[in-house]
Structure 1
Amino acid sequence: MKRFIEKLNLKEKIVIAHRGASGYAPENTLISFLKAIELKADAVECDVHLSKDGVPIVIHDEKLNRTTDGKGYVKDYSLKELKSLNAGYKTRFFDKFKGEKIPTLREVLEVCRNKIGVVIEVKNGPFFYKGIEDKIVNLIKELDVGEQVIISAFDHSTIKRIKNLNKDLVTAVIFSGCPVKPTLDCLLAYANGLHFEWCYLKPSVIEEAEKDDLFINVWTVNNEENIRKMFLMNVNGVITDYPDLGVKVKQEMEV
């Protein structure tokens, strides 16, 4: 099996399941990541905060309210307290996934190891999590999954700290909207690539990225027409809530 980073380096088209197969299961839960594996995505994307007791936790928002039955900030809860919450939230899936728990990053990496790549988005805003980069890098080293992982963040200093800790880890800066000089921002952050909001992507950005040997993955693309459009523009990867659509388009284009 080709490692995720090997596929990226070989310029293969890759499909990244956004917060897991979040179109089919609660986002950022183990069942969502397992569904992405089942649907043959190349990687899953997940978001990481720190718990009150310093454990890397996989959840998108800084607050618990939207995706769990808890309230308040993730940072104010211990791991034990977070594990008592229901992440199989009703607002989208009713009771179908009742009892799903918030996973730790360790649990996600262990489930995905040797099966699928993992794109880790480090959430360092609006709160600054002291030492989050060290914890993530140490966990990747302990589990020996460096060839399966991209670490991404909106915060450029977070990416710099990751590279200072381990220059061999693959990193990406996330952009939303229309940044003025995204490729320059990446180079200044020592990043290997860009994660770009798909609807703002222009051919000029792709040309600059190719010139600077930077990869581009786009987010979040949820229909076949736009997934195909992005691959035809020569992006490296598509981040989607529906990885089966991405896989279908990729396979059709490879025929």
Structure 2
Amino acid sequence: MTQARQHHIQVVAHRGASEDAPEHTLAAYMKAIEDGADALECDVRLTADGHLVCVHDRRVNRTSNGRGAVSALELADLAALDFGTWKGREDSAESPDWGDPSLTSVLTLERLLELVADSGRRIELAIETKHPTRWAGQVEERLLRLLGRFGLAAPATAAESSVRVMSFSARSLHRIAAAAPTVPTVYLMQFVTPRTRDGRLPAGARIAGPGIRIVRNHPGYIARLHQAGHQVHVWTVNEPEDVELCARLGVEAIITNRPRQVLSQLGRG
């Protein structure tokens, strides 16, 4: 892939190495680090007692053996659930064995930050705030407070930051930009709207985060985003032909469930 080697494309593990291990678990993120991912992507939600946990859905029904909204459950409630055995059920009548239960229990953002800090190499974090939420601005407030404890909330410049905050909510990104101006922000997009068609992003957003469908259907849009001065981080890129397309268009980051395969395709395996 000669196009891919013309510039460095960051490979971001979407919910960890989530094709191989249950999403948003310690097992998935440890696998992503082992695979050589440049960055780890996670979604965060706030529990009823104020802890940030890595869970994508509003409810835990799909990815655990429990039921209920994350925002209505306390951390202890979530810690009692199994977030691992759902993975692979569609392929086998038996529940898969992921070994140590701590590898597939609910993952707090604090524990993920500790994992990255102990990794021994630079690994960036792409943290997505989920909206709408009953907690309004408390998610962003708690997030920045936690990042501050790890020395990550006030990088000297955006280029030096090892953390970025992503959201489909322009309001969420505006809150982050106002409170932590040097933390990079990514505006996630499912569609190209009249407001963003010319490459402009909402106030507070610095990086464009289009879905792969946008890239497939409107490849010229990537050039407009670049001309407007924005980096482009594309989600969720799993198929080889999509990796090739992103490389050809010069995107800066690929968010994927398959970090090992994408790294290999980019000549870094």
User: Do both share a fold (TM > 0.5)?
Assistant: yes
Give the conservation status (yes or no) of the 8 Å contact 1:175–1:195.
yes
TM-score by length of 1: 0.89
Residue of structure 1 aligned with 2:254, choices 232, 235, 238: 238
CA deviation after TM superposition for structure 1 residue 12, in Å: 2.5
Say yes or no: does 1:108 pair with 2:112.
yes
What letter matches 2:266 in structure 1? K
Q: Quote the Cα distance in structure 2 between the aligned partners of 1:225 and 1:204.
A: 17
Q: How does 1:213-252 map to 2 (within 5 A)?
A: 213-251=229-267
User: SS at 2:164's partner residue?
Assistant: strand
Q: Any gaps of 5 or more consecutive residues in structure 2?
A: 1-6, 90-94, 154-160
Give the conservation status (yes or no) of the 8 Å contact 2:15–2:29.
yes
Q: Quote the Cα distance in structure 1 between the aligned partners of 2:30 and 2:116.
A: 8
CA deviation after TM superposition for structure 1 residue 203, in Å: 3.2
User: Alpha carbons of 1:233 and 1:184: their partners in 2 closer, same or farther (altered >3 Å)?
Assistant: closer
User: SS at 1:119's partner residue?
Assistant: strand
Give the conservation status (yes or no) of the 8 Å contact 2:39–2:123.
yes
Say yes or no: does 1:42 pair with 2:34.
no
Residue of structure 1 aligned with 2:76, choices 71, 80, 87: 80
What letter matches 1:97 in structure 2? W
TM-score by length of 2: 0.84
User: Alpha carbons of 1:97 and 1:129: their partners in 2 closer, same or farther (altered >3 Å)?
Assistant: farther
User: SS at 1:162's partner residue?
Assistant: helix
Residue of structure 1 aligned with 2:129, choices 122, 129, 140: 122
Q: Quote the Cα distance in structure 2 between the aligned partners of 1:122 and 1:70.
A: 22
Larger deviation: 52-61 or 130-139? 130-139
CA deviation after TM superposition for structure 1 residue 229, in Å: 1.5
Q: Superposition RMSD on alpha carbons, in Å?
A: 2.0
Q: Comparing both structures, which one devotes a greater share of its residues to helix?
A: 1
> How many residues are paired up?
243
CA deviation after TM superposition for structure 1 residue 86, in Å: 0.7
Give the conservation status (yes or no) of the 8 Å contact 1:49–1:129.
no
Sequence identity (%): 28
What's the counterpart of residue 158 of structure 2?
none
User: SS at 1:217's partner residue?
Assistant: strand
Give the conservation status (yes or no) of the 8 Å contact 1:49–1:56.
yes
Q: Quote the Cα distance in structure 2 between the aligned partners of 1:70 and 1:186.
A: 42
Q: How does 1:1-255 map to 2 (within 5 A)?
A: 12-92=8-88, 94-97=95-98, 99=101, 100-113=104-117, 114-125=121-132, 127-146=134-153, 147-182=161-196, 187-201=201-215, 202-251=218-267
Give runs of ≥4 in structure 1 deviating > 2 Å: 89-99, 126-130, 177-189
What's the counterpart of residue 5 of structure 1?
none
What letter matches 1:162 in structure 2? I
Q: Any gaps of 5 or more consecutive residues in structure 1?
A: 1-10
User: SS at 1:81's partner residue?
Assistant: helix
CA deviation after TM superposition for structure 1 residue 188, in Å: 2.7
User: SS at 2:76's partner residue?
Assistant: helix
